[in-house]
């Protein structure tokens, strides 16, 4: 068992939340037991994940999407009451890191998404430098947008939406996990031949056609499954804690 405060420090030192302007509090969102022996990681602090963490006898949950976001009313009713009540009843600590988890150069969502897809970043782009720009780790290129989208579909085991089936070879690839469709224009400006993110909105389909840059939406959840377990496993191994990643399937 390791003191909660030690674990909190380790996450904060690793992810440096003070460097980011974010949509919710990063770090310990809900205080639980003073000692931690087991961490469960997941993408979102949903009721299903909290129930699974209770069953797994976790002392802490580490997620990308926590409970608190800008724009909420602040009322503890409905789903918020259910989730909080279960955490508090079982004395489980909830850690949530949003943008700092996307950004970490080795363990974050974008770095791990790149690893999963065989891509290596050589630079960053976009607001708060969250976008990754690079190419295939083996130095090669994809025959075209369709080949890249098939590669993403297979690599993530997730359906993808592809706009602009450009025939030209694809070398420079930009990616940003989650709902980063608004990063598309910055990706184009940075010189990307294709952009991979979780979601697409209406305007991006037109930009993809008009700017001749492929847009691949691979699912918000599917694109953010890799950072939380990488960070939680890293910190767990620092202190000899048990770690388990629990994937609660989400088609969105
Ligand atoms: Zn997200």
Give the pair of three-digit tokens for residue 152.
């993403």
pLDDT band at 7 (very low <50, low <70, confident <90, very high): very high
pLDDT (mean) for 20-49: 98
What is the distance between the alpha carbons of residues 179 and 181, in angstroms, rounded to a whole number? 6
| Spacing, Cα 167 to ligand 1 middle (Å) | 31
| Spacing, Cα 64 to ligand 1 middle (Å) | 7
Dihedral over Cα of 18, 23, 28, 31: its sign: positive
pLDDT score of 167 more than 80? no
Mean pLDDT rounded to a whole number for the chain? 97
| Spacing, Cα 239 to ligand 1 middle (Å) | 28
Report helix, strand or coil for 42.
strand
Q: Are strands 93-96 and 60-65 parallel, antiparallel or unpaired?
A: parallel
* Nearest Cα residue to 100 out of 23, 36, 209: 23
| Spacing, Cα 224 to ligand 1 middle (Å) | 6
Q: Which residue has the higher pLDDT, 33 or 164?
A: 33
| Spacing, Cα 102 to ligand 1 middle (Å) | 8
| Spacing, Cα 227 to ligand 1 middle (Å) | 11
| Spacing, Cα 1 to ligand 1 middle (Å) | 30
| Chain position carrying tokens 């302007």 | 21
| Spacing, Cα 117 to ligand 1 middle (Å) | 18
pTM of the model: 0.96
- Contact predicate 93/38, CB 8 Å: no
Dihedral over Cα of 16, 52, 31, 69: its sign: positive
The tens digit of pLDDT for each residue in 173-224 reads 999 999 999 999 999 999 999 999 999 999 999 999 999 999 999 999 999 9
Assign residue 218 a region (left: φ > 0; alpha: ψ between -120 and 50; beta: otherwise).
alpha
| Spacing, Cα 193 to ligand 1 middle (Å) | 24
DSSP 54: H
pLDDT number for residue 246: 98
The tens digit of pLDDT for each residue in 135-150 reads 999 999 999 999 999 9
Report helix, strand or coil for 162.
strand
pLDDT score of 164 more than 90? no
Beta-carbon neighbours within 5 Å of ion ligand 1 = 178
pLDDT band at 71 (very low <50, low <70, confident <90, very high): very high
CA distances from 7 to 4, 56, 128, 241 (A): 5, 19, 26, 10
CA distances from 153 to 43, 136, 158, 219, 245 (A): 19, 16, 5, 10, 22
The tens digit of pLDDT for each residue in 218-242 reads 999 999 999 999 999 999 999 999 9
- Contact predicate 165/145, CB 8 Å: yes
pLDDT (mean) for 103-131: 97
What is the distance between the alpha carbons of residues 115 and 226, in angstroms, rounded to a whole number? 9
| Spacing, Cα 221 to ligand 1 middle (Å) | 7
Q: For residue 50, what is the enclosing H or E element? A: helix 47-55
| Chain position carrying tokens 């363990």 | 107
pLDDT number for residue 206: 96
| Spacing, Cα 168 to ligand 1 middle (Å) | 31
- Contact predicate 195/213, CB 8 Å: yes
pLDDT score of 166 more than 80? no
The tens digit of pLDDT for each residue in 86-116 reads 999 999 999 999 999 999 999 999 999 999 9
| Chain position carrying tokens 């009713």 | 77
| Spacing, Cα 46 to ligand 1 middle (Å) | 13
Q: Estimate the crossing angle of helix 109-117 against helix 227-239, to 10 degrees.
A: 110
pLDDT (mean) for 11-23: 97
């Amino acid at each position: 068992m390791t003191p909660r405060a030690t674990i909190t420090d380790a996450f904060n030192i690793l992810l440096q939340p003070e460097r980011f302007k974010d949509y919710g509090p990063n770090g310990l969102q809900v205080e639980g037991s003073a000692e931690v022996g087991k961490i469960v990681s997941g993408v979102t602090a949903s009721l299903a994940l909290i129930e699974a963490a209770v069953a797994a006898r976790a002392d802490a949950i580490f997620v990308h999407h926590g409970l608190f976001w800008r724009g909420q009313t602040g009322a503890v009713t409905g789903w918020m009451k259910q989730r909080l009540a279960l955490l508090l009843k079982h004395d489980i600590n909830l850690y949530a890191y949003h943008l700092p988890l996307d950004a970490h150069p080795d363990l974050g969502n974008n770095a791990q998404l790149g690893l999963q897809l065989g891509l290596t970043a050589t630079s960053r782009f976009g607001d708060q430098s969250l976008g990754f720009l690079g190419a295939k780790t083996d130095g090669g290129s994809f025959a075209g947008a369709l080949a890249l989208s098939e590669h993403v579909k297979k690599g993530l085991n997730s359906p993808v939406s592809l706009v602009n089936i450009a025939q030209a070879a694809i070398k420079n690839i930009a990616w940003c996990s989650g709902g980063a469709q608004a990063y598309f224009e910055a990706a184009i400006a940075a010189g990307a031949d294709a952009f991979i993110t979780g979601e697409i909105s209406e305007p991006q389909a037109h930009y993809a056609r008009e700017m001749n840059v492929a847009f691949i939406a691979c699912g918000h959840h599917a694109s953010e499954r890799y950072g939380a377990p990488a960070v939680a496993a890293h910190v767990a191994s620092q202190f000899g804690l048990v770690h388990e990643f629990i994937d609660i399937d989400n088609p969105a």
